[in-house]
Amino acid sequence: MKFKLILLAAASLLSAGAFAKNITLKNVSYDPTRELYTEYNAAFAKYWKARTGDDVTVQQSHGGSGKQARSVIDGLDADVVTLALAGDVDQLHDIAKLIPKDWQQRLPNNSAPYTSTIVFLVRKGNPKGIKDWNDLVKPGVAVITPNPQTSGGARWNYLAAWGYALKHNGGSEEKAKEFVTALFKNVPVLDSGARGSTTTFVQREIGDVAISWENEAFYAAKEVGAGKFEIVVPSLSILAEPTVSIVDKFVKKKGTEAVAKAYLEYLYSDEGQEIAAKHFYRPRNEAVAAKYSSVFPKLELLTIDDPAFGGWAKAQKLHFGSGGVFEQIFLKK
């Protein structure tokens, strides 16, 4: 009897081992999420192992959000994309039909499991006295922001400035255009992504102020250059909603659909939200948000659906499309 039990246990162990799978997922993400997903991937792998017995390894790819979307469209076989904005994920449907049109409805909060906003990072003591957006257009102020044509973060930066200018100029688009033109005149270096801009400002010591994701500003101020920088919260900013989606065409081909879905759904779990908050992304989960409420300052936030922007499709076409406002500014510069 004892022998039979041992045999049974051994067989169970063997069969469990024999059927456990090694799964590799590819997460194509935007620039500043490296640290977030490094921790999250480990947590998810542990969760998935406990749930299914399978081992999951997640390969990360980071870069400017627009560039990353382009890479996936060009064939980078991502299982999931976790990009800076819905407009970039839309491209996967619009150009390559890699995902369905209604991809944003598949997960809560329009598939944006965490949010962020745009703030200013300045050098210690704020030598140029930067307080709000109008300080960034003053002569002699060097502003660091990435290129909106390649970076999702940069598009949020740009739109936040545009929204501020509209609100402070009676809704005049002409004035707003003048404002962002003046702002970009003060930009000496256009990096392709947000992390590149952090490098420019923090490590290369260029510029007086960096327009930055809130999470990236915290990362720079607390972890990269602790004590050397300060965060300035402007009077008005934008609710940045990084969005996530599985890439249907690739997961079906690779047979990773279930685990890819679970990977994104787990971002909404308590643990996923806690990890996001720890890395200075504003959590959706109210309990976790309450726990971290002291970390994130309160400020007026416009949304992409505000009449100032009219949603991503309109904003993309008007500002960042071919012949759009940014291109006009850039060519003038």
Partner 1 sequence: MRKLTRLSAAFVTATLFTTSFPALAAESAELQALRLQVNALEQQLRVIARQIEIKEEAAAAAAPTTPKITVNDKGFTLASPDAANSLRLRGLVQFDSRVFFNDGGGVLNNAFVLRRARIISEGVFAKNYSFQIVPEFGGSAVSIVDANFGIAISPALQLKFGRFKSPVGLEQLQSDAWGFFNERSIVNNLVPNRDIGIQASGDLFGARLNYAVGIFNGVADGASTTNTDFDEEKDLVGRVFVSPFKDDAGSAVQGLSFGIAGNYSRQKTAAGHSGGYRTDGQQTFFAYNAAVIADGATWRVSPGLDYRHGSFGLLGEYVLSTVNVRPSATGAKAELQHTGWQIAAGYVLTGENSSYAGVVPATNFNPATGTWGAFEVVARYANVDIDDAAFPLFASASTAASEATSLGVGLNWYLSKAVRFTFDYYQTDFGFNVAAPAVSSNPVLRQDEKAFITRFQLTF
Residues that bind partner 1 (CB under 8 A): 63, 71, 74, 142, 188-192, 196, 200, 204-206
The nearer residue to partner 1, 18 or 331, going by C-beta atoms, is 331
CB of 18 to partner 1, least distance (A): 31
Are the beta carbons of 59 and 26 closer than 8 angstroms? yes
CB of 151 to partner 1, least distance (A): 12
Contacts of 75 (CB under 8 A, 6+ apart): none
CB of 175 to partner 1, least distance (A): 29
CB of 33 to partner 1, least distance (A): 17
The string over 57-70, giving b where at least 16 C-beta atoms fall within 10 Å of a residue's C-beta and e elsewhere, is ebebebbbbbbbbb
Are the beta carbons of 263 and 44 closer than 8 angstroms? yes
The nearer residue to partner 1, 193 or 272, going by C-beta atoms, is 193
Helices (H), the chain: 2-19, 34-52, 65-73, 86-94, 108-111, 152-167, 173-185, 194-198, 214-218, 248-254, 257-265, 270-278, 286-291, 312-315, 325-332
CB burial of residue 203 (10 Å; 0-12, 13-18, 19+): exposed
CB of 260 to partner 1, least distance (A): 23
CB of 318 to partner 1, least distance (A): 27
At residue 93, φ and ψ (nearest 5 deg) are -85, -50
Are the beta carbons of 216 and 195 closer than 8 angstroms? yes
The nearer residue to partner 1, 196 or 242, going by C-beta atoms, is 196
- The label of the residue with tokens 């929204």 reads 163
CA atoms of 304 and 178, how far apart (whole Å): 21
The nearer residue to partner 1, 109 or 203, going by C-beta atoms, is 203
CB of 206 to partner 1, least distance (A): 5
